[in-house]
Amino acid sequence: MQKYKCTVCGYVYDPEAGDPDSGIEPGTGFEDIPKDWSCPKCGATKSQFEPMSQEAAAAT
């Protein structure tokens, strides 16, 4: 599954882990996260995330 990185703080959303503290279950793809979800680290909106390249994602 595609990982996404916050362009504000660098937080990486990993769909395999989800974001349990925000009610996002493991296995939830980024496109399936509610539109009002925000970065758990800095509060950036979902639109401020960019997909990571496979090479960059493998390094995380």
pLDDT per residue over 5-59, tens digit each?
999 999 999 999 999 999 999 999 999 999 999 999 999 999 999 999 877 767 7
DSSP code at position 39: -
The pTM (predicted TM-score) of the whole model is: 0.88
Q: What does the pLDDT read at residue 54?
A: 77
- First-to-last CA distance in the chain? 13
Query: Where are any strands of DSSP class E within the chain?
Result: 4-6, 12-13, 49-51
Beta pairing, strands 49-51 & 12-13 = unpaired
Q: Which CATH class is domain 4-58?
A: mainly beta
β-strand partners of 50: 5
